[in-house]
Amino acid sequence: MNTNPYRQNREELRELLHQYHNLKMGRNHTFIEEDAFEIIIDYFDENEELSKAIEAAGFAIESYPYSANLLLKKADLLIATKKYRDALSILKRAELLDTTDKNLYILKTDVYLALDEQEKAANVFEKAIYQFDGEEKIELLHELSDVYDDYEHFDKIFDCLQLILELDPNDEEALLKICFWTDFTGRNEEGIRIHQKIIENHPFSEMAWFNLGSAYQGIKLYEKAIDAYLYTVAIDEKFDNAYRNMGDAYLRLRKYKEAIEVLQKALELTRPEEVIYEAIAHCYDKLGKYAQSRSNYRKATHLNPDNSQLFFKIACTYMNEFAWESAIKNLHTAMQIYKMQPEYNLALGQCYMEVGKIDAAIQYFGNVVKHRPKNTNGWLELLKCLYKTAHFEQGLEYVNHALFHTNEKPIFFIYKCAFLLTLGKSKEAALQLELGLSKNSKLIKKLVELNPGVLQNQLIIDVVVRFKSKKK
């Protein structure tokens, strides 16, 4: 009894290689069987001696010219060495001998893809899939979906995966892929029907339930999505992506406590992720629990210290608590990463205004309008700051810039009116007010907010009365 089969196999291989060497040298040799040639070819291939493998395939085909299998082996080797035209020629010979081997079509497709002829590659599979059934048809459909991916026929990828699932509703690869392509192509209604049908016959398919939830989520049916995810985790309680998606659905329904609960469950099941900590922090922020919100934002920063938005969001939690100095500190951290982000400059300007550092506030508001001159908010904050700190001449100068850059937004006529009034230019102020109210008569409230005593000015009262009578 042989106690060392590995040694026997090595000896058999050595003998085959010896016979093959004799064949090459033209010496007397023992007849080499077709399957023995395959072993020799595979040996050279596995040892990355591709030129020797191709040579061996050539000798094998001379001995067995009608072997489609040997022709396919040689074509595969030629593809590996980028001799695509030679491979195509060999594959045409193989096709004359046998059209029932799926590898023929896979290799032809590999050649066409390598030659950047994606449409021909797709045509090969489109014709071939009708010749096969069962597992072979499924394999070809998977290959075809990859070809469609290569030349960006995304709807056809979805169609391939749908066909696969009709043949095998439990095909794991298809179930994984169709979830993504359902969302990417926006074919959520079809995705819902496909997975409802699968669930009817396979009610314990956690992937089908998950995909159903994802499809519902794609059309914003969040309650139904959550129900599907709950079935998913009932079948597989460690399905972390179901908890993640459920958290997103709860968040969109503004059910922040429920979102926190399932997102924390997701963290228990998978490695820590910045996006999950950020989502939890957002939920706590919405619940007004700012300390817990900051704690989770900080956990996110440990995973990605270069994400300036996280430091900005920490600063916003401090601003909500009127903790201006702490907010300023975190905003400066954010700006070390992304200095000229207008959103950060705007927040810094607001904070510095609150702590009475007016020059700094003006500087940061100035940065905002410099980089986003058409944005209304930056101008409004700058003008409010100048008005409240009695920089009236400067304010009048900037309000003219604001009108120019924002295509004369009505609100800025109101600000111009306010600045002119403080400078004792009542007639010009009344004219500016008239221009503003002609575009939006409700803006008088903004003027009163800026200067409650404005209605003591007779010229202003006359303009307001005139517009009220026009409305009647």
Task: Kindly report, residue by residue over 450-466, the tens digit of the pLDDT.
Answer: 888 888 888 888 888 88
Give dist(CA 163, CA 370) in Å, integer: 56
Q: Give me the helix-helix angle, 134-150 and 118-128, nearest 10°.
A: 160
Residue 121 — pLDDT band, cuts 50, 70, 90? confident
Instruction: Give 388-433 pLDDT, tens digit per residue.
Output: 999 999 999 999 999 999 999 999 999 999 999 999 999 999 999 9
Q: Over 90: is that where the pLDDT of 299 sits?
A: yes
Span between the terminal Cα atoms of the chain, in Å: 112
Read off the pLDDT of each residue in 362-370 and give the average, rounded to a whole number.
Answer: 93
Statement: the pTM of the whole predicted model exceeds 0.85: no
Rg (CA), the chain: 36
Give dist(CA 249, CA 234) in Å, integer: 18
Report whether 185 contacts 218 (CB < 8 A). no
Instruction: Give 132-189 pLDDT, tens digit per residue.
Output: 888 988 998 998 898 889 888 899 999 999 999 999 999 999 999 999 999 999 999 9
Residue 197 — pLDDT band, cuts 50, 70, 90? very high
Query: Torsion over CA of 61, 66, 68 and 73, rounded to 10 degrees?
Result: 0
Report whether 250 contacts 262 (CB < 8 A). yes
Q: Which of 39-43, 90-94, 217-221 has the highest mean pLDDT?
A: 217-221
Q: For residue 111, give both structure tokens.
A: 């050649």
Residue 24 — pLDDT band, cuts 50, 70, 90? confident
Report whether 349 contacts 383 (CB < 8 A). no
Phi and psi for 78 in degrees, rounded to 5? -65, -35
**pLDDT value for 6:** 43
Residue 29 — pLDDT band, cuts 50, 70, 90? low
The one-character DSSP state at 441 is G
Q: For residue 366, give both structure tokens.
A: 């100035």
